[in-house]
Amino acid sequence: MPADLLRAEGLAAGYGKVRVLWGAGLTVGAGESVVLLGPNGAGKTTLLKVLLGLMPAWAGRVSLEGEEITTWPSDRRVRRGLAYMSEIGVFTALSIAENLAIGGQFSPPARLRRRLDELYAVFPDLAARRGALAGSLSGGQRKMLGIAKALAGAPRLLIMDEPSAGLSPLFVGQVIGILRRFHATGLALLIAEQNVKFLDLAERVFTLEGGRVGFSGSVAELHADNALHRAYFGLGA
């Protein structure tokens, strides 16, 4: 197993007086691809937001390469190599090029230019319309822009919240293909999903139920667990 890039232990968090996370924890190794499975309301988005510093942790600890970052603001975490793609993922009122510039806001200009050239080569649809407003793109194209934006800063770990939401199976396949491509260059992934197609990418799986991590292990171990297999793949799978 690779050395831990991100580690979360015993996280508690919630909204107002409603507690959503009850001691959740997970780890993502450097260059590792991790999928966080869980039904609606399990606390996946909350957990990701706490990891990014978008919500405070009521208890527990988050560390990046061994350094505690639990109370760091989100911009400091992004500077240190974390990137987050929310379900929305883009600024619809800004152009494609502006979205990407925001994604790469902490990169020196020359490096950002090189990175954008790389990204435009991977996303030719975006390259052709770089001056267009993100709001004029289709749902699938927005998702691609969201991925490109999150990658513009050349992060070490990309954290994604339900990248399959609202996408056709065709686009889901494309998203997985693109993520696989960047993962092969050393990008670590943490993907919260309900769609088990994303397990194709996973080197390790965590399941989140009722704000707690239930299972952690490889995809093969998930399949070997009858109850979990039934829960996530159905009886006939």
Contact positions toward another protein, by CB under 8 A?
52, 54, 73-75, 77-79, 83-84, 86, 88-94, 98, 101-103, 105-106, 149, 153
**Identity of the residue, 46 or 207, whose beta carbon is nearer to another protein in the bound complex:** 46
What distance in Å separates the CA atoms of residue 160 and residue 46, rounded to the nearest whole number? 12
Min separation Cβ 157 and another protein, Å: 13
Q: Which residue do the tokens 């929305």 mark?
A: 88
**Identity of the residue, 15 or 124, whose beta carbon is nearer to another protein in the bound complex:** 15
**Identity of the residue, 163 or 232, whose beta carbon is nearer to another protein in the bound complex:** 163
**Identity of the residue, 25 or 153, whose beta carbon is nearer to another protein in the bound complex:** 153
Closest of 114, 175, 108 to residue 139, by C-alpha:
175
Min separation Cβ 224 and another protein, Å: 36
Burial category of 174 from C-beta neighbours within 10 Å (exposed 0-12, middle 13-18, buried 19 and up): middle
Strands 188-193, 59-64: pairing kind: unpaired
**Identity of the residue, 163 or 199, whose beta carbon is nearer to another protein in the bound complex:** 163
Min separation Cβ 234 and another protein, Å: 33
What distance in Å separates the CA atoms of residue 117 and residue 103, rounded to the nearest whole number? 14
Min separation Cβ 7 and another protein, Å: 20
Min separation Cβ 55 and another protein, Å: 10
**Identity of the residue, 68 or 75, whose beta carbon is nearer to another protein in the bound complex:** 75
What distance in Å separates the CA atoms of residue 226 and residue 40, rounded to the nearest whole number? 21
Residue 20, phi then psi, degrees to nearest 5: -110, -40
Min separation Cβ 41 and another protein, Å: 20
What distance in Å separates the CA atoms of residue 222 and residue 217, rounded to the nearest whole number? 7
What distance in Å separates the CA atoms of residue 211 and residue 185, rounded to the nearest whole number? 32
* Inter-residue contact 32 to 188 (CB < 8 Å): yes
> Which helix (DSSP H) or strand (DSSP E) does residue 180 occupy?
helix 169-183
What distance in Å separates the CA atoms of residue 109 and residue 126, rounded to the nearest whole number? 20
